Structure 1
Amino acid sequence: MKTRSYSYFFFLVWLGVACGKKQEVLEPTPYTLSIPANLQKAMPIPRHNPMTEEGVVLGKKLFYDPLLSANNQISCATCHVAALSFSDGKTLSNAGLSKKTFVRHVPHLTNVGWSEGLFWDGGANNLESMVFGPLTHPDEMGEDLEQLLQELQQMPDYPHLFRKAYGTDSIQSALVARALAQYMRTLISADSRYDRFVRSEEGGSLSAIEREGLNLFKEKCASCHAFESGKKDFFTDFSYHNNGLDTIFSEEEERVSMGRFRISFDSTQIGAYKTPTLRNVALTAPYMHDGRFQSLKEVLDHYNQNMLASPYLDTALQNSNGQVGIPMQEGEKEAIIAFLHTLSDQDFSLVHP
């Protein structure tokens, strides 16, 4: 009788689970970011969105899924191509829902987890809030969030993936954003020839002209594209600068040409844009917030001789003699460009296909 009672008890437990009366919720597995030795700065992770294996898997699937757009044809990866360091190779894209030409160049996502401001003007403070911009903008993915949640809920695999990552198969827009943010925080690039050089690893040799370019870069470029060789090699100061591209700053198109001022309302930041990291810079042409320069040579020519003076020009680009720009000889430009090519992480797109 005792044996039969226990058997009957376990049968009832099994029946309850089989009938869906009880669903086991497993704790997600913590995800450990692999931070290279020469990026000695902790990546800021929000407490409400800790990194997990399941969250990253879900985020990657969402990143590549065109279901996230209103016409189910545009994914995040449409404009953020892994082989181009998650940029798109276009001056101004028109790949969005409306086919209207974007007013800004698509930024690449290399090491985006460390960015202290997202978009060219820092209009979002974290990845979780940033993703709603392209998701819902009518010229980009143009998605209605309620419609998206219904579509995801009806798919055979998404409820299960959300349950594994967040303990619920009731899909919410905040959880979509969190998963996407988790995946983007894994986009860490620091295995270029330069990285191996400063870490004294195999394959880390630099030629004479590349070493010359490194020294020139420290002298002429590192005030904005900051790095601490072998320690904090981010190649950005995470700040905003007016670098002499324009002298007229229009209020049209939601004042996008006014740069950081659009967000801060600080008049000293008119025409100032975020300093992009130069990691994988040889893969992410064209350059600047509007993609106006097609080559690194054009960029250096701008800083050397084509910069425009205005009351908002960054003081680091103004010389004591009243001239603007960074003095550079043609041979020095060639050396700097040779060095910049050593920042290409050839395996980055292979790790994050």
Structure 2
Amino acid sequence: MARETVPKKIALDIPANFPAVLDDPDNPLTEQGVALGRLLFYDTRLSGSNKLSCASCHHQELAFSDGIALSNTGESGQTLPRHAPALINLAWAKSGLFWDGGSTNLESQAFGPLTSADEMHQNLSELEDELKAVPDYAKRFQEAFGTGVKSANIAKALAQFQRTLISGNSRYDKYIRKEDGSILTHQEIRGMLLVNAKCRSCHSGELFTDGGYHNNGIDKDFSNASLDGLYQGRSRITYNPLDLGKFKTPTLRNVALTPPYMHDGRIKTLAEVIEHYNSGVEVSPTTDVLLSQNNGQAGVPLSLQDKSDIIAFLNTLTDEDFIRNIKFNKPNLP
């Protein structure tokens, strides 16, 4: 009788300047689970037409974003109403996923794009049958989870792989950790101080996000019943009118690699993002008071030099190791 393989538990490689992260007791990280999740992430079998994978909209060279404001590469060809987020440091994502927090964890999040008619449009029962027919997958699911191919374990494997997508080796990180030869220029340091003073209320900590939801003043009218309230932000989930127009704070890590910006990709460049906060904040009852930095009025006053220095600093958050890490790239699929 063949001896049963016990999944080998592994720990995340956490950068020294990062906060601790707790393993998920319902889906502990294992060598076999991560390897399986990586295969599934790149496998077009996960879509109904066998033409799309998770990686179709999350490219490693773009910090697992897609560089498109609103994609129409899904199964239906319809333009999606929201921008595909970058996949960075998701092991710390404990306050909801999607732009409105509509999913509580990575495991449940996976079923959204998998089953959406406008995205991967996959029938989960058919997907199970399709993967069961591949001997290598049948073996890997048994080794990772002790069961055959099940949709719940597809989601678990994908979640395990995505939790390993840790970005913490930028020039900024090396400077903060005082690694040998790591320096920032005077302009970059001034930009860092400006970001710390003016942006850190939302883009907080070493993750450069508070994981929360804010109305950052890109709109003042949130009525769009025809789109199922998608522009209403967090209130679509909580039904709390105080959450109207609030969207999840994205990380600033690798931000130079992930244009366009905002939940619908409407802003093309970092310079335009900064100008929005400087002069373009739209005021509504739920606009975040943290943006009232102009003598109590909405806006974050910045000089031309301030804007240039902030962009210089944001570029130090680009992690070249992350976008080249061979542990994250496309493997040979079974």
Report whether the alignment pairs 1:236 with 2:209: yes
The answer as to whether partners of 2:294 and 2:301 remain within 8 angstroms in 1 is: no
Deviates more, 1:251-260 or 1:60-69: 251-260
Specify the alignment match of 2:14 in structure 1: 35
Equivalent runs, 1:46-61 vs 2, <5 Å: 46-61=24-39
Specify the alignment match of 1:149 in structure 2: 128
TM-score by length of 1: 0.90
Which of 215, 222, 225 is the aligned partner of 2:193? 215
Specify the alignment match of 1:283 in structure 2: 257
The answer as to whether partners of 1:92 and 1:102 remain within 8 angstroms in 2 is: yes
CA distance in 1, matches of 2:275, 2:26: 45
Specify the alignment match of 2:332 in structure 1: none
Tell me the amino acid that sits aligned with residue 247 of structure 1: K
Corresponding residue SS for 2:228: helix
Equivalent runs, 1:103-252 vs 2, <5 Å: 103-116=81-94, 117-168=96-147, 170-227=148-205, 233-250=206-223, 251-252=225-226
CA distance in 1, matches of 2:234, 2:26: 28
The answer as to whether partners of 1:193 and 1:203 remain within 8 angstroms in 2 is: no
The answer as to whether partners of 1:189 and 1:279 remain within 8 angstroms in 2 is: yes
Gapped regions of structure 1 (runs ≥ 5): 1-16, 18-22, 228-232
Corresponding residue SS for 1:157: helix
CA distance in 2, matches of 1:320, 1:331: 17
CA distance in 1, matches of 2:294, 2:183: 38
CA distance in 1, matches of 2:271, 2:302: 12
The alpha-carbon deviation at position 75 of structure 1 amounts to 0.1
Report whether the alignment pairs 1:347 with 2:321: yes
Gapped regions of structure 2 (runs ≥ 5): 330-334
CA distance in 2, matches of 1:291, 1:337: 19
Percent identity, aligned pairs only, is 50
CA distance in 1, matches of 2:153, 2:111: 12
Tell me the amino acid that sits aligned with residue 308 of structure 2: E
Tell me the amino acid that sits aligned with residue 285 of structure 2: P
Specify the alignment match of 1:296 in structure 2: 270
Query: Which aligned runs of 4 or more in structure 1 are off by greater than 6 angstroms?
Result: none
Q: CA RMSD in A?
A: 1.1
Count of aligned pairs: 325
Tell me the amino acid that sits aligned with residue 323 of structure 2: S
Specify the alignment match of 2:75 in structure 1: 97
Equivalent runs, 1:13-92 vs 2, <5 Å: 17=1, 23-42=2-21, 44-92=22-70
The answer as to whether partners of 2:27 and 2:156 remain within 8 angstroms in 1 is: yes
Tell me the amino acid that sits aligned with residue 269 of structure 2: S
CA distance in 1, matches of 2:143, 2:100: 35
Tell me the amino acid that sits aligned with residue 337 of structure 1: I
Corresponding residue SS for 1:104: coil
CA distance in 2, matches of 1:320, 1:143: 49
Tell me the amino acid that sits aligned with residue 259 of structure 1: G
The answer as to whether partners of 1:94 and 1:100 remain within 8 angstroms in 2 is: yes
Q: Deviations over 1:298-347 (max 9, x none)?
A: 00000000111111101111257552110111110000000000000001
TM-score by length of 2: 0.95
The answer as to whether partners of 1:249 and 1:258 remain within 8 angstroms in 2 is: yes
The structure with the larger Rg is 1
Report whether the alignment pairs 1:335 with 2:329: no
Corresponding residue SS for 2:135: coil
CA distance in 1, matches of 2:177, 2:315: 18
The alpha-carbon deviation at position 91 of structure 1 amounts to 0.6
The alpha-carbon deviation at position 253 of structure 1 amounts to 1.1
